[in-house]
């Protein structure tokens, strides 16, 4: 377990720089997004250990439990922060509250659309048991290429855990949609 | 060639894993997470409970992984692989949580082995130490078989995770909150295919009925009360499977009705001396599954991957 640490004093400039450096790290699977825009970067702080040495603690949360990109995110954060002069970096995992697609920033949504991906709508807010859905989805996202509302779900599982596959019946192009969770 | 290295393989396994697409170095999936056992809970019981839920996910994930490249079309192949990945992620956190609660459950490895506790639990335990339900372990059949198995498995798991979201154990509660969102997709996928196959051709209906008949006797174990689960439910940490019976029956009834099928009449598969998968009593299928899953890791207990 991690030893008790006290917050860095007089290190606010350094903390701001760490936030800025970590904020530029991109998602390995959807590189049009930064980890911050995807909403998986949950915090960056600079603390001091018992000897007074500076340690950056960056916290990330998985989009899906089995997300295989977590190790790459961790490595990328450590390396970019090392490059920026922070010799000691720890990456912590935050599980609670779980990631929601609602945390994707406006800038992130624009980046998804610019890359031909369909951005998620509002995540469902449930109280009580999840209803079983045997029919096709009630609403479908518009085509990110031609804007047509006539699209069809191909599969709720795509090339990465966070995306579903759709096809536009207007322009006939397939597209990926970031799922609402 | 770099002068520092006599061979191209030198330096590959240093502390820096950035040259690998997904990193190779082990990491703690619970780094920085508070894993204190809640007040009034026996750590050994909590660990055993985490193994039950983690082993269900791990073994089901392994069976789904065996479908890779064998599904009827690419979309379903990807769907099955996605579901396997979700469950593997849940298994990893749950096994890590078991090890954090009670390190005594982790098999001993040679000194200096880099294998992390959750991998030691997955790859170095024997069949009798696994606590999964037998439904998860039976050998794969045809596509109807995986649809029926997933429907039963995900219906019970979703009902369980929904109730586990309020667990007094913060790790279990967090795994459950995320898992609900994932397993809801699994259940919808299985439910839709169940109805599609039942209402499809004569052949698809025949195959679905055969799978239902073969698997129904294993369904009851998912909601069978077990003393350990009952005890942890009383402590506000776990979920008593008996409380899942009605909600699970309701969902299965909904799917059977939509499929135009009657509820199968099959007695549950008996345990041996009252012992079932939850007690480490398994079918031969688990031993064969583990032999394949564990052979490489066991051959290289000092290996880094």
Query: DSSP letters of B124-175?
Result: S--GGG----GGGTSPP-SHHHHHHHHHHHHHHHHHHHHHHTT-SSHHHHHH
Instruction: Write the ipTM.
Output: 0.89
Cβ(A134)–Cβ(B191) below 8 Å? yes
pLDDT for position A124? 87
Q: Say if the Cβ atoms of B175 and A132 lie within 8 Å.
A: no
Chain B hits for A2, CB-CB cut-off 8 Å, are: 32
Residues of A in contact with B178 (CB under 8 A): 62, 64-65, 95, 98-99
Q: Is the pLDDT of residue A150 over 60?
A: yes
pLDDT value at residue B19: 54
Q: Cα separation of A158 and A180, whole Å?
A: 13
- Token pair for residue B40? 């009034």
A65 contacts B30 by C-beta, under 8 angstroms: no
CB contact under 8 A, A156 and B251: no
pLDDT at B272: 87
Q: Which top CATH class is A6-93? A: alpha beta
Q: Residue B279 gets which letter from DSSP?
A: G
The alpha-carbon gap from B274 to the nearest alpha carbon of chain A, in Å, equals 32
What percent of chain A is modeled with pLDDT above 70? 94
Contacts of A39 in chain B (CB under 8 A): none
Domain with CATH 3.30.300.130 in chain A: 6-93
Q: pLDDT at residue B119 above 60? A: yes
- Cβ of A98 within 8 Å of Cβ of B93? The answer is no
**Chain A residues within an 8 Å CB radius of B180:** 130
**In the structure encoding, which two tokens stand for residue A168, read together?**
């536009």
A125 vs B213, which has greater pLDDT?
Answer: B213
Average pLDDT, chain B: 92
Name which of A29, A42, A66 to mutate to probe chain B: the one with the most chain B Cβ atoms within 10 A of its Cβ.
A66
Provide the pLDDT for residue A68: 84
Neighbours of B199 (CB within 10 A): 14
Among 3.40.50.10470, 3.30.110.70, 3.40.50.1100, 1.20.1260.10, what is the CATH number of B43-299? 1.20.1260.10
Copy the structure tokens of residue A98. Answer: 């779980």
pLDDT, tens digit, 9 for 90 and up, residues A22-67: 999 999 999 999 999 999 999 999 999 888 889 999 999 999 988 8
- Cβ of A97 and B21 within 8 Å? no
Q: For B256, how many CA atoms within 13 A lie in the half-sphere containing its CB?
A: 15
Which of A114, A108, A118, A101 lies closest to A168 in space, CA to CA? Answer: A118
Q: For position A173, what pLDDT does the model report?
A: 95
Give per-residue pLDDT as tens, B25-45.
557 889 889 999 999 999 999
The string of pLDDT tens digits covering residues B174-233 is 999 999 999 999 999 999 999 999 999 999 999 999 999 999 999 999 999 899 999 999
B191:A156 CB<8 A: no
Contact at 8 Å (CB) between A58 and A89? yes
Contacts of B32 in chain A (CB under 8 A): 2, 57, 59, 90, 92-94
Per-residue pLDDT tens over the stretch A101-124: 999 999 999 999 999 999 999 998
Q: What residues of chain B lie within 8 A of the CB of A97, using their CB?
A: 177
Mutate to test the interface with B, among A1, A136, A157 (most CBs of B within 10 A): A157
- Tell me if residue A54 falls in helix, strand or coil: strand
Q: What is the pLDDT of residue A10?
A: 46
- A57 shares contact with chain B (CB less than 8 Å): yes
Q: Do the Cβ atoms of B174 and A95 come within 8 Å?
A: yes
Question: Cα distance from B190 to chain A (closest Cα, Å)?
Answer: 9
Please tell me which of the candidates B175, B192, B251 has its beta carbon nearest to residue A65. Answer: B175
Q: What is the pLDDT of residues B123-171, one digit of tens each?
A: 999 999 999 999 999 999 999 999 999 999 999 999 999 999 999 999 9
* pLDDT score of B22: 45
Q: Which residue of B has its CA nearest to A96?
A: B174
CB distance A94 to A45 below 8 Å? no
Q: Look at residue B1 in the predicted model and tell me its pLDDT.
A: 43
Nearest to A71 among B27, B173, B177 (CB): B27
A140 to chain B, any CB pair closer than 8 A? The answer is no
pLDDT in tens, B54-109: 999 999 999 999 999 999 999 999 999 999 999 999 999 999 999 999 999 999 99
Cβ-defined contact of A91 to B251 (cutoff 8 Å): no
In this complex, do B30 and A69 lie within 8 Å of one another by their Cβ atoms?
A: no
Question: What CA–CA distance (Å, rounded) separates A57 from A64?
Answer: 22
Question: In chain A, which residues have their Cβ closer than 8 Å to the Cβ of B18?
Answer: 75-76, 79
Query: CA Rg, chain B, in Å?
Result: 20
Spell out which residues of chain A touch residue B181, defining contact as CB-CB under 8 Å: 98, 181
């Amino acid at each position: 377990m991690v030893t008790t640490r006290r917050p860095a004093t007089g290190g606010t400039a350094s903390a701001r720089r760490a936030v800025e450096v970590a904020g530029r790290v991109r998602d390995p699977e959807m590189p049009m997004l930064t980890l911050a825009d995807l909403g998986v970067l949950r915090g960056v702080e600079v603390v001091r250990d018992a000897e007074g040495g500076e340690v950056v603690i960056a916290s990330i949360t998985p989009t899906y439990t089995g997300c295989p990109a977590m190790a790459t995110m961790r490595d990328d954060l450590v390396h970019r922060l090392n490059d920026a002069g922070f010799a000691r970096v720890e990456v912590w995992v935050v599980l609670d509250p779980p990631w929601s697609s609602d945390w994707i920033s406006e800038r992130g949504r624009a980046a998804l659309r610019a890359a031909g991906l369909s951005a998620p709508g509002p995540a469902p807010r449930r109280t009580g048991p999840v209803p079983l859905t045997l029919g096709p989805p009630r609403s479908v996202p518009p085509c990110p290429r031609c804007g047509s509302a006539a699209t069809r779900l191909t599969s709720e599982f795509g090339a990465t855990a966070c995306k579903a596959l759709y096809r536009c019946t207007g322009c006939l192009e397939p597209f990926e949609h970031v799922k609402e969770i | 060639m770099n002068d520092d290295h006599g061979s191209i393989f030198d330096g590959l396994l240093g502390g820096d894993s950035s040259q690998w697409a997904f990193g190779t170095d082990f990491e703690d999936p619970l780094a920085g997470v508070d894993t204190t056992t809640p007040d009034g809970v026996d750590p050994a019981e909590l660990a055993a409970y985490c193994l039950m839920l983690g082993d269900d996910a791990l073994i089901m994930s392994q069976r789904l992984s065996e479908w890779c490249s064998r599904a009827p079309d690419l979309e379903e192949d990807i769907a099955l692989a996605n579901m396997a990945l979700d469950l593997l992620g849940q298994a990893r956190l749950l096994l890590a949580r078991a090890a954090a609660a009670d390190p005594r459950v982790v098999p001993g490895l040679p000194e200096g082995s880099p294998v992390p506790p959750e991998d030691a639990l997955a790859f170095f335990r024997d069949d009798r130490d696994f606590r999964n339900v037998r439904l998860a372990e039976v050998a794969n059949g045809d596509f109807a078989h995986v649809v029926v198995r997933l429907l039963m498995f995900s219906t019970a798991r979703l009902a369980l995770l929904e109730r586990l979201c309020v667990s007094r154990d913060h790790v279990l509660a967090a795994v459950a909150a995320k898992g609900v969102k994932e397993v809801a997709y699994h259940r919808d996928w299985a439910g839709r295919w169940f109805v599609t196959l039942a209402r499809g051709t004569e052949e698809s209906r025949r195959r679905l009925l055969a799978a239902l008949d073969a698997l129904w006797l294993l369904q009851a174990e998912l909601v069978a009360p077990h003393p350990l689960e009952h005890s942890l439910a009383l402590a506000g940490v776990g979920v008593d499977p008996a409380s899942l019976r009605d909600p699970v029956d309701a969902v299965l009834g909904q799917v059977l009705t939509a499929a135009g099928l009657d509820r199968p009449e099959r007695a549950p598969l008996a345990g041996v001396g009252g012992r079932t998968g939850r007690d480490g009593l398994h079918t031969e299928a688990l031993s064969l599954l583990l032999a394949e899953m564990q052979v490489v890791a066991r051959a290289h207990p000092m290996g880094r991957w």
